């Protein structure tokens, strides 16, 4: 959401007088949320946990406070069995100390432990949510930096899954695993008290614990691959749902609902199998891990009772040991959970790191300069381009010069590379060979921010956000005055139909703008670009979905707006081509003819064939648009089920 301003840059005139230019400064809305204090360690050689530690350490004050309070609360609880032993021996058996003395102490300890537990829980949950906030922002920030080739090969459902369920798995382990370990450390304190009462009995009570440890290791090995499988298949389900929601009109138009349900059902079955396998492993190991300490309790009662009978131990010690064994059970019961959480977090973290370790392919070079005072002089110099090394060249030794302020129409059959030319201009992709030059600068030597602020693009498939029409038009200039927004809407021929909507410019459009017709969406997209007022304008079949009569009404405005602005029009319609000063015919990835419309019609037979084919394609697209509009009307009238 940036626009181009200028940068002070001194140029000299023939009289050697410095000319001052205003600076380039990105203009955007003020951030409402703080940036993460730390990020994931980029060192791929480290373990997943060590890579995540900067996130944990950035919240160390709050986190350590939570753990200290948790430890304090548990230490106070450990005192209670010892007090119980003394109460039984001193108050109930020997009757030397009033029972109320111990009742008061236990009550005070319980209150203090409760307060400490409250503080611990509050800070623990706050830390958990702040870590989750940081992880989501780190992933989203990284995704905004990724280049178009990355999005060409990934599925949005996969990204959504990794930014949701995978992050939650990592966050839960990073937060709750240390808390559980604190509880386990308190078990050590409890064992120390048990040793102070009777060493042989304490050792007998701990006999099952090595077996718990060994089972935990085996459980961890078994559950990791299943955890990875679960997260992967969750992403598969998310991908299918995402594609079906976005493509609901295609699904319904082919009556393919049942087929898509079958596809989703198969994916859900695979996910169900993974969940059942996970449940089987947990059912196999967890009860044993949790109940082995119960054997320790049985041994305490058996051996401790024998010691009491033979006068080697007091009755109160048996009660204290029983409570300590119960206290030891809780950490070991959580051991199975922490193992499961750890393996799922490990699998999820690797899926997250797969995204974060991806490197953008289109970035600012070291020493890149801002494009300021852009005049719009464009050169394509022997440009070669392919979308992947395995694919044939789309552009092959492509040369083109567009002079400042000139309007050029690019015409050619489908697939010859017209849209690719438009994508190379703002560096959506980098040329495989040759170079693209604006105002004497190789676009790879310019900062992306200033370059893309200078090149405004209106695509043939405009994307609108699920916000108001006013916000959609002002997307590139969020602080624009409403009068300027109206002027842009009027120039794009959109003001009339916008004012007929229930709330005018404040009307909220549906997802991707599908509550509007294709022509209406295109006009709003044109207005959005015109509001930013870029010195270079690219119209990539931008009026293809607009009715010819409506297109003619906005041509006057477009002609006025193109004055003094370098404009590249990718067109099929003769009416759109008429806006251009010069027409270029593309074939086989290069320019094969250059001239006015009349000249090309007279001298280049291929040009006439391309125009005829283009008109046929536009008629087909118009018919499809009318069918889609009718289908949309039918959906709105019969299939609407209310908001989700």
Integer Cα distance of 130 and 275 in angstroms: 29
**Which one-letter DSSP state was computed for residue 446?**
B
Average pLDDT of the residues in 440-465:
87
Among the ranges given (146-160, 237-251, 360-374, 416-430), the one the predictor scored with the smallest mean pLDDT: 237-251
For residue 533, pLDDT over 60 is answered with yes
Q: Residue 5 — very low, low, confident or very high, per pLDDT cuts 50/70/90? A: very low
pLDDT score at 549: 63
For residue 583, pLDDT over 70 is answered with yes
Q: For residue 49, what are the CA distances in angstroms to 53, 224, 616? A: 6, 15, 59
CA atoms within 13 A on the CB side of 563: 6
Q: What is the pLDDT of residues 138-167, one digit of tens each?
A: 988 888 888 888 888 887 777 877 888 888
Average pLDDT of the residues in 8-34:
46
pLDDT score at 53: 92
Q: Look up residue 529 and give its two tokens.
A: 């670009």
Integer Cα distance of 226 and 276 in angstroms: 10
For residue 193, pLDDT over 70 is answered with yes
Q: Residue 30 — very low, low, confident or very high, per pLDDT cuts 50/70/90? A: low
Average pLDDT of the residues in 473-495:
87
Closest-CA residue to 271 (of 221, 227, 223, 241): 227
> If you count DSSP H runs as helices and E runs as strands, how many of each does the chain have, helices first?
21, 12
The pairing of beta strand 582-587 with beta strand 407-412: parallel
Q: What is the 3-state secondary structure (H, E, C) of 377-437?
A: CEEEEEEEECCCCCCCCCEEEEEEEECCCCEEEEEECCCCCHHHHHHHCCCCCCCCEEEEE
**How many residues can be counted in the chain?**
644
Most confident of 182-191, 459-468, 496-505: 496-505
Cβ(284)–Cβ(297) below 8 Å: no
Residue-averaged pLDDT of the chain: 80
pLDDT score at 9: 38
Average pLDDT of the residues in 468-489:
88
Most confident of 90-104, 209-223, 371-385: 371-385
Domains of the chain by residue range: 48-356, 378-638
- Provide the percentage of residues in the chain whose pLDDT is more than 70: 84
Integer Cα distance of 237 and 243 in angstroms: 10
SS3 content of the chain, % helix, strand, coil (to 5): 65, 10, 25
For residue 558, pLDDT over 80 is answered with no
* 456 vs 285 pLDDT, higher one: 456
For residue 269, pLDDT over 90 is answered with no
pLDDT score at 50: 92
CA gyration radius, the chain = 35
SS3 label, residue 570: strand
Q: Residue 14 — very low, low, confident or very high, per pLDDT cuts 50/70/90? A: very low
For residue 17, pLDDT over 70 is answered with no
* 27 vs 374 pLDDT, higher one: 374
Give the DSSP H or E segment for 458.
strand 455-458
**Which one-letter DSSP state was computed for residue 10?**
-
Cβ(583)–Cβ(597) below 8 Å: yes
Q: What is the pLDDT of residues 32-67, one digit of tens each?
A: 667 788 889 889 889 998 999 999 999 999 999 999
For residue 23, pLDDT over 90 is answered with no
pLDDT score at 97: 80
Cβ(285)–Cβ(219) below 8 Å: yes
pLDDT score at 196: 82
Buried-exposed string 557-576: b where 16+ CB fall within 10 A, e elsewhere: bbeebbeebbbbbbbbbeeb
pLDDT score at 66: 93
Integer Cα distance of 189 and 72 in angstroms: 12
* 453 vs 185 pLDDT, higher one: 453
Q: Residue 616 — very low, low, confident or very high, per pLDDT cuts 50/70/90? A: low
Residues with Cβ < 8 Å from 296, sequence gap 6 or more?
A: 204, 205, 206, 207, 208, 209, 325, 328
- Output the CA torsion 82→87→92→95 (10° steps): 130
Measured from the Cβ of residue 243, the count of other Cβ atoms closer than 10 Å reads: 17
Q: Residue 438 — very low, low, confident or very high, per pLDDT cuts 50/70/90? A: very high
* 24 vs 239 pLDDT, higher one: 239
SS3 label, residue 243: helix
Most confident of 196-200, 221-225, 230-234, 400-404: 400-404
Fold of the domain built from segment(s) 378-638: Rossmann fold (3.40.50)
Tokens 């490990």, residue located: 346
pLDDT score at 424: 92
Q: Please indicate whether the domains covering 48-356 and 378-638 agree at the CATH topology level.
A: no
pLDDT score at 296: 75
pLDDT score at 62: 92
pLDDT score at 598: 86
* 283 vs 333 pLDDT, higher one: 283
pLDDT score at 12: 37
Integer Cα distance of 416 and 594 in angstroms: 16
For residue 249, pLDDT over 70 is answered with no
- Provide the percentage of residues in the chain whose pLDDT is more than 90: 15
Q: Residue 385 — very low, low, confident or very high, per pLDDT cuts 50/70/90? A: very high
Its CATH class, for the domain covering 48-356, is mainly alpha
Measured from the Cβ of residue 429, the count of other Cβ atoms closer than 10 Å reads: 19
């Amino acid at each position: 959401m940036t626009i181009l301003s200028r940068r002070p840059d001194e140029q000299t005139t023939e009289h050697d007088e410095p000319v001052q230019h205003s600076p380039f400064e990105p203009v955007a809305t003020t951030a409402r949320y703080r940036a993460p204090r730390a990020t994931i360690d980029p060192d791929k050689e480290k373990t997943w946990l060590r890579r995540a530690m900067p996130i944990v350490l950035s919240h160390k004050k709050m986190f350590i406070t939570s753990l200290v309070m948790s430890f304090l609360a548990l230490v106070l609880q450990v005192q209670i069995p010892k007090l119980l032993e003394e109460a039984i021996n001193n108050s109930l058996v020997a009757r030397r100390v009033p029972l109320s003395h111990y009742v008061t102490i236990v009550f005070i300890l319980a209150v203090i432990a409760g307060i400490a537990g409250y503080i611990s829980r509050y800070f623990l949950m706050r830390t958990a949510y702040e870590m989750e906030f940081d992880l989501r922002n780190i992933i989203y920030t990284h995704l905004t930096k990724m280049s178009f080739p990355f999005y060409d090969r990934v599925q949005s459902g996969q990204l959504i899954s990794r930014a949701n369920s995978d992050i939650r798995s990592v966050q839960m382990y990073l937060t709750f695993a240390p808390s559980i370990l604190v509880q386990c450390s308190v078990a050590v304190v409890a064992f120390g008290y048990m040793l102070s009462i009777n060493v042989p009995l304490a050792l007998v009570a701990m006999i099952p614990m090595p077996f718990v440890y060994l089972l935990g290791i085996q459980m961890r090995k078994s559950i990791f691959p299943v955890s990875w499988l679960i997260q992967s298949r969750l992403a598969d389900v998310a991908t299918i749902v995402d594609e079906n929601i976005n493509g609901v009109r295609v699904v319904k138009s082919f009556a393919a609902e049942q087929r898509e349900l079958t596809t989703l059902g198969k994916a859900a079955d695979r996910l169900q199998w993974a969940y059942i396998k996970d449940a089987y492993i947990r059912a196999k190991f967890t009860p044993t891990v949790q109940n082995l300490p119960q054997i320790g309790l049985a041994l305490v009662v058996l051996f401790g009772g024998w010691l009491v009978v033979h006068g080697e131990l007091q009755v109160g010690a048996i009660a204290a040991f029983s409570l300590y064994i119960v206290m030891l059970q809780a950490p070991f019961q959580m051991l199975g959970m922490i193992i499961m959480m750890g393996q799922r977090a490990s699998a999820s973290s690797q899926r997250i790191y797969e995204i974060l370790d991806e490197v953008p392919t289109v970035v600012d070079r070291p020493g890149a300069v801002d494009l300021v005072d852009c005049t719009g002089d464009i050169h394509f110099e022997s440009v070669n381009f392919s979308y992947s090394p395995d694919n044939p060249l789309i552009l092959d030794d492509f040369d083109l010069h567009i002079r400042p302020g000139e309007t050029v129409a690019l015409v050619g059959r489908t697939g010859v590379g017209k849209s690719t030319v438009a994508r190379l201009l703002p560096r959506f992709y980098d040329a495989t060979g040759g170079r693209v030059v604006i105002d004497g600068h190789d676009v790879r030597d310019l900062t992306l921010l200033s370059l893309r602020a200078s090149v405004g693009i209106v695509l043939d498939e405009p994307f609108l956000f699920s916000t108001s029409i006013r916000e959609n038009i002002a997307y590139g200039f969020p602080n624009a005055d409403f009068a300027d927004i109206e002027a842009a809407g009027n120039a794009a021929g959109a003001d009339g139909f916008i004012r007929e909507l229930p709330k005018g410019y404040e009307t909220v459009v549906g997802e991707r703008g599908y509550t509007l017709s294709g022509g209406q969406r295109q006009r709003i997209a044109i207005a959005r670009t015109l509001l930013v007022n870029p010195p270079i304008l690219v119209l990539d079949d931008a009026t293809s979905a607009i009715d010819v009569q409506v297109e003619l009404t906005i041509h006057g405005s477009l002609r006025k707006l193109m004055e003094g602005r370098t404009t590249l029009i990718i067109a099929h319609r003769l009416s759109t081509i008429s806006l251009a000063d010069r027409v270029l015919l593309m074939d086989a990835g290069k320019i094969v003819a250059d001239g006015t419309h009349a000249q090309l019609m007279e001298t280049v037979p291929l040009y006439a064939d391309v125009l005829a084919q283009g008109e046929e394609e536009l008629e087909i697209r118009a018919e499809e648009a009318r069918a889609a509009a009718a289908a949309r009307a039918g959906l709105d009238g019969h299939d609407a089920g209310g908001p989700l």
